[in-house]
Amino acid sequence: MAENGHKPFKLKSKDMFAMSAYAKSLANDEKINIDVTANKQMKKAYALGKEVYETKRGGRGLSCLSCHSKDVIGGILRTQPLPDLGAPTVKAAATWPAYRMTKSSLRTLQRRFQGCMKNALLAVLPIGSEEMVALEVYITEKAKGNEIAIPGLKR
């Protein structure tokens, strides 16, 4: 955008969310085929994402795995069933960005992660941070083989 004389969108802006949804929608019906072994950066991102997903933090000692482990999948939290993010039927990253009905707006996967962290009273990782990007890489790998269907529609 800057090269074309336009002011770049802010990372957390509605315009950036819309651009992200548009760009990913160009791959609709394609299968996610992320290769987390492609290079050292992807290997590092995947390992960090797995660590963020599994590490307990905050005063309650919660991690992403606290709500998305095989032990609690199918349970109900805040009127929603807890999904297995690796299940083929859930499609995890394949349906984000999505329109969230409860927020009346388009949200990215990283923004959804922030919502989970906030609801769990965890320190919220910044959008675009190394940890947040790594978490998205980790969750996207769980959706490998699923067809992209953007924008998703979520409660």
Average pLDDT over residues 86-95: 76
Question: What single letter denotes the amino acid at residue 2?
Answer: A
The secondary structure of 32-99 as a DSSP string is P---TTSSHHHHHHHHHHHHHHH--BTTTTB-HHHHHSTTTTT-EETTEEPP-TTSTTT-GGGG-SEE
What pTM was estimated for this model as a whole? 0.88
**Distance from C-alpha of 144 to C-alpha of 88, rounded to nearest angstrom:** 9
Residues 6+ apart with CB under 8 A from 57: 63, 122, 123
| Domain regions of the chain by residue span | 18-154
pLDDT value, residue 51: 97
- pLDDT tens readout for residues 25-58: 999 999 999 999 999 999 999 999 999 999 999 9
pLDDT value, residue 34: 94
- pLDDT tens readout for residues 64-78: 988 888 888 788 887
Share the mean pLDDT of the chain: 89
> Domain 18-154 maps to which CATH number in 2.60.40.10, 3.40.50.12500, 1.10.760.10, 1.10.645.10?
1.10.760.10
- Give residue 59's pLDDT band: very low, low, confident or very high (50, 70, 90): confident
pLDDT value, residue 114: 94
Q: Is 46 left (phi over 0), alpha (psi -120 to 50) or beta?
A: alpha
- pLDDT tens readout for residues 120-139: 889 999 999 999 999 999 99
